[in-house]
Chain A
Amino acid sequence: MTEIALSPWVAVPATVLLVSGGLLTLVGSLGLLRLKGFYARMHSPTMGATLGTGCVLVASMLVSSAVAHRAVIHELLIAAFLTMTAPITAILLMRAARSRTKPE
């Protein structure tokens, strides 16, 4: 795709991380489709949100650092943001589901 030749020390870990991140996210989303009940479905997409995102972000950091010939770590911004915001949505959604299924 580009003429920059990446060394195997970058390309092979990035390949492994990309493939595993893609498969993890796929399995998490399959669980979102297949599991029965909201509380069971609640936990499966978090696999893509944590492990899949982590794998893809580390692969992106590796490749962009190798392309730019310096340490490029701005992907940590997405990682920190997602780490902070994913539990907030999960907690709000879980409380909404509890208050909607059990009216008192």
Chain B
Amino acid sequence: MNELLDHAAGFAALCFMVAMAFALARLFRGPRAQDRVLAFDALYITGMLTLLTLGIRARSTVYFDMALLIGLFGFVGSTALAKFLLRGEVIEP
């Protein structure tokens, strides 16, 4: 049963890696800036999922903290970028 779960975690990590490659391709190719911000949003969520999958594979809870931090800072970054595209200012006076 453990081998089955490890193989499933490896498969999921592979899927997430390919998904991150797709998001990265959109990040480099995106015709406009909002496409790039959207690709960044998808990229950090997929990276967070990759860390959670590695945590399942290693049976460790250390990866959880990293995933939480990636979610936190990714939200801050993508919201700041979207706000900048919207108004030209991140924090308005």
Residues on A lying within 8 angstroms of B by beta carbon are 1-2, 4-8, 11-12, 14-15, 18-19, 21-23, 25-26, 28-30, 32-33, 38, 41-42, 45, 48-49, 52-53, 56-57, 59-60, 63-64, 67, 72, 74-75, 77-78, 81-82, 85, 88-89, 92-93, 95-97, 99-100
Contact A92 B19 (CB under 8 A): no
Q: List 6 A-B contacts (CB under 8 A).
A: A18-B5, A23-B15, A25-B46, A26-B16, A49-B42, A97-B34
Q: Which residues on the A side are within 8 Å of B9 (C-beta)?
A: 18
Residue in A closest to B68 when the chains form the complex, CB atoms: A78
Given A1-B6, A1-B58, A74-B64, verify A22-B12 contact (CB < 8 Å): yes
Given A18-B53, A38-B34, A93-B41, verify A8-B1 contact (CB < 8 Å): yes
Contact A1 B57 (CB under 8 A): yes
Main secondary structure of the interface of B (DSSP, over half): helix
Given A4-B59, A92-B86, verify A11-B2 contact (CB < 8 Å): yes
Residue in B closest to A33 when the chains form the complex, CB atoms: B22
Contact B56 A59 (CB under 8 A): yes
Instruction: Give the A-B pair count, Cβ closer than 8 A.
Output: 178
A41 contacts which of B13, B38, B59 (Cβ < 8 Å)? B38
Residues on B lying within 8 angstroms of A by beta carbon are 1-2, 4-6, 8-9, 11-16, 18-20, 22-23, 25-26, 32-35, 37-39, 41-42, 45-46, 48-49, 52-53, 55-59, 61, 64, 67-68, 71-72, 75, 78-79, 82-83, 85-86
Contact B68 A7 (CB under 8 A): no
| A5, A59, A89: residue with the most chain B Cβ atoms closer than 10 Å | A89
